[in-house]
């Protein structure tokens, strides 16, 4: 007779193995759940009162907006993309609801308005999906442009906080799904989780993970990758719309800027929840837990009487810790680089490195060209550059002609030309830093608060005194160098996405600026700086002469130096550049330092231009800094572009802004216009 224990032993071992695999797959969710429970216990321990149902309901409603928006972001990241328009969609839905609900109707239909919000978000998502899936444009540049377009539309709908949200919407989303047992926000999130478990088992869900893991392989196997990508952005937009409905229920009114602060928390929640940046791994359960982890961390700081100014620093720190924790997996960039480093150390000790062998002259022998070979003509040598840089200058001439026809007295007006050059100087400086980063295939999202912090630091240090200017400027520039080094090291040494690193740095800089200024910047720009930015010498502002020197330096740096050639080499192929002997890590770190220095210089000049610094002085320069680079003919994925084209882009966008300012169009239309311009430029100049 067969022993039954021997028959069931293999089955038990198989079950244990399957269980271990399941645990490993859900490790990130388990860790997020344990961290959430631990923080919840700590929050309850610090409270003088025991945790009640009201506390749980309050916490559930407080983090639901971020959680819902982060669920949409999770879908996009699973597909291998990024969506920077999430917060803008939330603001748009909130503004539409607040301006269209009738104050006389206190019993408005919550399901109906929820459907309206979801459809608005899905419409924006369809625009994103069209350009990403059908036009094959980069998700980063598409969603960034759409973000500013949507922000402009939101300001056209509602330019100041106000409006009306029916109380029934708040009762529907902030009340109880089951009285004293299940808060409505928890019920909404539970429904999303159930739908997710069904969706991930459909053909769409399988294709979503396949596209995120390897889009080329997924397409080669016959999967409908474009349709899946398009649907993903539509679903994500619908979820952003639902988040906009929820925040409307919370606030009871409209605010055109309510979603601006959501970008960093949504990314942080996705990463904390274990979804891999780059796609193919993760899910929404961990994201929801990550959103509440983030919220409880901020609440703990407030309960410990820590200033609210530290909130963005805490969110950025949690984001970076979560990213670093995810980078410790065996297949991560950081792990691979650590293994390569250990292998190199071992090889050096054993004397196996190529650099330790006797050097041999293996240079290829090139024959001198024949003396009669004619020198290549100018167009042959520079035709590729002219092809991409000239359109910006041609469009500039067209805009100037239109400005002459609309406003009159432009070509002979010295004041117009001086204003154009002065206002263009800020974008021309940013174009060098942001352009160098883009040429390597990266993107710097830390510019807004890099500009603001530099201006706030300078005015706070000098206090309107010329003598202090010469010590304050080096301090501001040293801080900028530190910011650039941290950005570059995060990208190079840790192998993290430039979007995540610079977005987190932007949050840190925001917190530092708030802490340094106490929420209200003090001090004024010294007279010497004011003279540089506002005085007139022979009819022109002195900064114009400074810009002539800067432009010459920028053209030489990118076009005539070994450093510039290495930037292009890294942007074309980092692997090929490394194999060719280029120290790619140093180059990438250097361009982020250069970008931070350019942002600091713009912050200093803006403080001199306005006479003092403000906390939001850099907000209007993120999209234009990218737009001038792209409009100037640079490829958003790196490796192509010239500073002459970027300079033309800076002059073009400034001339457009001047033309728009002279018309009756609302100021909010400028953001819409800039977003449309950058989309058109990317489509027209793509390879």
Rounded distance, CA 253 to CA 161, Å? 8
Quote the pLDDT of residue 335: 57
Q: What are the tokens at 378? A: 């100018």
- pLDDT tens across 145-186, in order? 898 899 889 999 998 888 888 888 888 888 888 888 889 899
- pLDDT tens across 332-342, in order? 555 555 565 56
Q: Is 537 inside any structural domain?
A: yes
The pLDDT confidence band at residue 604, using thresholds 50, 70 and 90, is very high
The mean of the pLDDT values for the chain is 83
Quote the pLDDT of residue 88: 92
Q: Which of 99, 377, 87 is nearest to 247 (CA)?
A: 87
Q: Is 184 inside any structural domain?
A: yes
Rounded distance, CA 329 to CA 17, Å? 20
For the beta carbon of residue 407, count every other beta carbon within 10 angstroms. 15
> Does the structure show a pLDDT above 70 at 352?
no
> Does the structure show a pLDDT above 70 at 6?
no
pTM comes to 0.80
Q: Which of 203, 58, 647 is nearest to 396 (CA)?
A: 647
Lowest mean pLDDT among 184-188, 445-449, 578-582: 578-582
The pLDDT confidence band at residue 330, using thresholds 50, 70 and 90, is very low
Lowest mean pLDDT among 102-106, 346-350, 365-369: 365-369
Q: Is 271 inside any structural domain?
A: no
Q: Is 304 inside any structural domain?
A: no
Binning the chain into helix, strand and coil, the percentages to the nearest 5 are: 75, 0, 25
- pLDDT tens across 12-70, in order? 655 555 555 555 566 778 877 888 888 888 877 877 777 788 878 888 888 899 999 99
Q: Is 46 inside any structural domain?
A: no
The residue segments making up the domain with residue 226 are 52-260+276-284
Average pLDDT value for residue range 355-369: 47
Average pLDDT value for residue range 368-372: 48
- pLDDT tens across 194-213, in order? 999 999 889 998 899 998 88
C-alpha distances (whole Å) from 120 to each of 87, 242, 245, 578 are 13, 9, 11, 46
Exposed / middle / buried, residue 558 (Cβ in 10 Å: 0-12, 13-18, 19+): buried
Query: Measured on CA atoms in the order 494, 500, 502, 504, is the torsion positive or negative?
Result: negative
Average pLDDT value for residue range 238-255: 92
The pLDDT confidence band at residue 635, using thresholds 50, 70 and 90, is confident
The pLDDT confidence band at residue 486, using thresholds 50, 70 and 90, is very high
**627 and 483 together in one domain:** yes
The pLDDT confidence band at residue 453, using thresholds 50, 70 and 90, is very high
For the chain, give the number of residues: 687
Phi, psi of 318 (to 5 degrees): -65, -40
**478 and 613 together in one domain:** yes
Average pLDDT value for residue range 367-390: 57
Q: Is 344 inside any structural domain?
A: no
Secondary structure element (H or E) that encloses residue 652, with its range: helix 643-661
Look at residues 284, 319, 351 and tell me which one is the last residue of a structural domain.
284
Q: Which of 585, 456, 430 is nearest to 510 (CA)?
A: 456
Q: Which residue's entry shows tokens 């309850």?
A: 44
Quote the pLDDT of residue 345: 59
The pLDDT confidence band at residue 377, using thresholds 50, 70 and 90, is low
- pLDDT tens across 111-144, in order? 899 999 999 999 999 999 999 998 888 888 888 8
Average pLDDT value for residue range 521-545: 88
Quote the pLDDT of residue 154: 93
Average pLDDT value for residue range 659-681: 77
Query: Which residues pair with residue 537 across a beta bridge?
Result: 540
Structural domain count of the chain: 2
Contact indicator for 256, 91 with CB cutoff of 8 Å:
yes
The pLDDT confidence band at residue 547, using thresholds 50, 70 and 90, is very high
Quote the pLDDT of residue 366: 43
> Does the structure show a pLDDT above 90 at 519?
no
> Does the structure show a pLDDT above 70 at 363?
no
**Mapping DSSP to helix (H, G, I), strand (E, B) and coil, where does residue 222 land?**
coil
Contact indicator for 312, 511 with CB cutoff of 8 Å:
yes
**404 and 280 together in one domain:** no
| Contacts of residue 454, Cβ cutoff 8 Å, sequence gap at least 6 | 476, 479, 480, 599, 600, 601, 602, 603, 604
Quote the pLDDT of residue 338: 57
Strands 182-183 vs 176-178: parallel, antiparallel or unpaired: antiparallel
Rounded distance, CA 204 to CA 39, Å? 35
**516 and 408 together in one domain:** yes
Rounded distance, CA 343 to CA 337, Å? 10
Query: Measured on CA atoms in the order 637, 641, 646, 648, is the torsion positive or negative?
Result: negative
Average pLDDT value for residue range 579-599: 92
Quote the pLDDT of residue 26: 62
Rounded distance, CA 642 to CA 276, Å? 34
The pLDDT confidence band at residue 365, using thresholds 50, 70 and 90, is very low
Helices (H) and strands (E) in the chain, counts: 28, 2
**75 and 185 together in one domain:** yes
Rounded distance, CA 270 to CA 208, Å? 16
Continuous H helices in 101-138: 110-129
Q: Which of 410, 413, 644, 417 is nearest to 541 (CA)?
A: 417
Contact indicator for 242, 97 with CB cutoff of 8 Å:
no
Phi and psi based region of residue 441 (left: phi greater than 0; alpha: psi -120 to 50; beta: remaining):
left
**390 and 280 together in one domain:** no
Quote the pLDDT of residue 340: 57
**495 and 610 together in one domain:** yes
Quote the pLDDT of residue 264: 80
Rounded distance, CA 635 to CA 641, Å? 6
Quote the pLDDT of residue 376: 52
Q: Is 173 inside any structural domain?
A: yes
CATH of the domain at 395: 1.10.3470
Look at residues 268, 284, 300 and tell me which one is the last residue of a structural domain.
284
Q: Is 74 inside any structural domain?
A: yes
Quote the pLDDT of residue 297: 84
Rounded distance, CA 49 to CA 37, Å? 18
The pLDDT confidence band at residue 437, using thresholds 50, 70 and 90, is very high
Q: What percent of the chain has pLDDT over 70?
A: 87
Quote the pLDDT of residue 15: 56
For the beta carbon of residue 203, count every other beta carbon within 10 angstroms. 10
Query: Which residues pair with residue 540 across a beta bridge?
Result: 537
Rounded distance, CA 191 to CA 481, Å? 47
């Amino acid at each position: 007779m067969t022993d039954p224990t021997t028959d069931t032993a293999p089955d038990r071992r198989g079950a244990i193995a399957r269980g271990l695999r399941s645990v490993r797959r859900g490790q990130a969710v388990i860790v997020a759940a344990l961290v959430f429970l631990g923080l919840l216990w700590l929050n309850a321990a610090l409270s003088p009162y025991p945790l009640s149902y009201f506390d749980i309901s309050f916490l559930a409603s407080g983090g639901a907006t971020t959680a819902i928006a982060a669920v949409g972001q999770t879908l996009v990241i699973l597909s291998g993309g990024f969506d920077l328009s999430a917060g803008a969609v939330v603001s748009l839905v909130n503004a539409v609801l607040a301006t269209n609900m009738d104050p006389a109707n206190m019993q408005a239909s919550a399901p109906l308005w929820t459907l309206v919000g979801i459809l608005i978000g899905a419409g924006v998502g369809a625009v994103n999906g069209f350009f990403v899936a059908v036009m094959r444009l980069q998700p980063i540049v598409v969603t960034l442009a759409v973000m500013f377009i949507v922000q402009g539309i939101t300001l056209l709908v509602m330019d100041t906080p106000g409006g009306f949200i029916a109380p029934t919407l708040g009762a529907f989303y902030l009340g109880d799904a089951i009285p004293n047992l299940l808060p409505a926000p928890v019920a909404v999130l539970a429904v999303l989780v159930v739908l997710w478990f069904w969706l991930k088992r459909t053909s769409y869900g399988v294709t979503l993970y396949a596209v995120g893991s390897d889009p080329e392989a997924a397409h080669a196997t016959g999967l409908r990758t474009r349709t899946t990508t398009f649907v993903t952005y539509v679903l994500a937009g619908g979820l952003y719309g639902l988040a906009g409905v929820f925040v409307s229920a919370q606030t009871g009114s409209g605010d055109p800027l309510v979603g601006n602060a959501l970008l960093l928390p949504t990314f942080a929640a996705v990463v904390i929840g274990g979804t891999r940046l780059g796609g193919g791994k993760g899910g929404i359960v961990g994201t929801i837990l990550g959103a509440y982890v983030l919220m409880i961390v901020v609440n703990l700081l407030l309960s410990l009487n820590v200033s609210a100014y530290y909130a963005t620093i805490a969110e950025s720190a949690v984001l970076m810790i979560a990213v670093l924790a995810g980078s410790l997996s065996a297949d991560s960039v950081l792990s691979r680089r650590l293994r390569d480093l250990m292998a190199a150390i071992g090889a050096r000790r054993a004397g196996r490195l190529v650099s330790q062998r006797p050097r041999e002259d293996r240079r290829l022998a090139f024959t001198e060209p024949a003396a009669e070979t004619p020198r290549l003509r100018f167009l042959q040598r520079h035709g590729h550059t002219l092809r991409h840089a000239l359109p910006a200058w041609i469009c500039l001439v067209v805009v100037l002609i239109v400005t002459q026809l609309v406003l009159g007295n432009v070509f002979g007006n010295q004041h117009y030309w001086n204003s154009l050059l002065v206002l263009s100087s800020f974008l021309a400086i940013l174009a060098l830093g942001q352009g160098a980063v883009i040429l390597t295939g990266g993107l710097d999202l830390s510019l807004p608060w890099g500009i603001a912090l530099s201006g706030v630091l300078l005015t706070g240090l000098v206090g309107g005194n010329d003598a202090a200017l010469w010590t304050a400027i080096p301090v501001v520039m040293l801080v900028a160098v530190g910011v650039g080094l941290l950005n570059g090291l995060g990208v190079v040494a840790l192998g993290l996405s430039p979007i995540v690193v610079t977005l987190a740095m932007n949050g840190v800089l925001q917190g530092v600026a708030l802490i340094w200024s106490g929420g209200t910047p003090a001090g004024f720009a010294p007279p010497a700086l004011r003279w540089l930015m506002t005085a007139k010498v022979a009819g022109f502002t002195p900064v114009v002469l400074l810009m002539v020197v800067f432009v010459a330096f920028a053209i030489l740096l990118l076009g005539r130096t070994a450093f510039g050639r290495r930037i292009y080499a890294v942007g074309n192929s980092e692997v090929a550049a490394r194999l060719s002997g280029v120290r790619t890590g140093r180059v990438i770190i250097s361009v982020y330092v250069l970008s931070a220095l350019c942002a600091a210089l713009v912050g200093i000049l803006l403080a001199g231009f306005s006479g003092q610094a403000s906390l939001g002085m850099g907000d209007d320069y993120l999209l234009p800094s990218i737009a001038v680079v792209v409009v100037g003919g640079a490829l958003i994925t790196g490796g192509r572009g010239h500073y002459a084209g970027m300079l033309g882009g800076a002059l073009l966008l400034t001339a457009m802004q001047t033309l728009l300012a002279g018309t009756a169009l609302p100021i909010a239309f400028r953001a819409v216009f800039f977003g449309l311009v950058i989309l058109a430029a990317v489509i027209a100049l793509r390879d």
